[in-house]
Amino acid sequence: MTGFGSGESDGFKVEIRSLNHRHTEISIKMPSFLIEQDMPVRNLIRSRFSRGKFDVNVILTNRQKNKIKANKELAQEVYQALQDLKAELLIEGSIDLNSMAMFKELILTEDLEYNQEAFLSAVEAAISRVFEMRAREGEVIKKDIEIMLSRLERKHELIETLSKNSIQIHRDNLTKKITELLSTISVDEWRLNQEIALIAQKSDISEELSRLKSHIEHLTSVLSEEESVGRKLDFILQEILREANTIASKTDILDVINQVIEIKTEVEKLREQAQNLQ
């Protein structure tokens, strides 16, 4: 699901944007002095969301307290190296602070002080607002899925009605075709009827319909759960597709095949929506 949230605290502003994603992917952009907070931020996001793509941007709203520190040991080494170079190459002039200033980025470091609790508080506030936005979107998606599930249930009921006499219909069709083919050949009637009954029995889709109904009921049950349901829905929808394909392969009733096609269309729509849920 998509979402946006921001939080501010003691000079920090944290913005988080989320997009749909099958897994959890987190990208963080923040000042280098906060690099030690990279993992805590990731852990906070993962504790609230099971999947999604998250872009985190940390903005400083005022200058943080800082201290300039000199690396005295490194400065001494730089000074000595310059002295050695001056002596070896017979360079005139003195080495003073102006000379050392050329190396200020190397020997001077900025030690920034910040309130870690305030920073993480801003992160948590942004995460909470993203969560609220995604929750609202989730309710809308949930209602759409419930409507699709109702359509699936109706199509399942229709297939059950259409296929009530499927075995007898299949037996009659086989008998007619075989009788026409063997009209001029003498065959064992009892053996022929046995073979026809066996072939017709293989067209029975009652078990597939029973499992299909169970999967649809399971979908409805999962949708009411409070925890993350996206991956569960993905799995159940795969099972529904499996049963639908088996039904289509076993029946020769055109109306049933047409309903299976519509079920598969609905399942594809459901899979798209399930991708939006965590």
270 pLDDT band, cuts 50/70/90, is confident
- Report yes or no: 162 and 253 within 8 Å, Cβ to Cβ: yes
Residue 65 has pLDDT above 70, yes or no: no
pLDDT in tens, 17-44: 998 777 889 999 998 788 889 999 999 9
Most confident of 99-103, 148-152, 228-232: 148-152
Quick check: pTM over 0.75?
no
pLDDT in tens, 97-142: 877 778 776 776 666 678 899 999 999 999 999 999 988 888 888 8
> Six-digit token pair at 138?
């989730």
- pLDDT computed for residue 187 by the predictor: 55
> Six-digit token pair at 197?
């009954």
Cα gap 51→26, rounded to integer Å: 10
160 CB-side CA count, 13 A: 13
Domain positions in the chain? 3-64+116-131, 67-112, 134-274
Average pLDDT of the chain is 82
Using CA atoms of 103, 105, 107, 109 in order, give the dihedral in degrees to the nearest 10.
160
> Six-digit token pair at 145?
């899925």
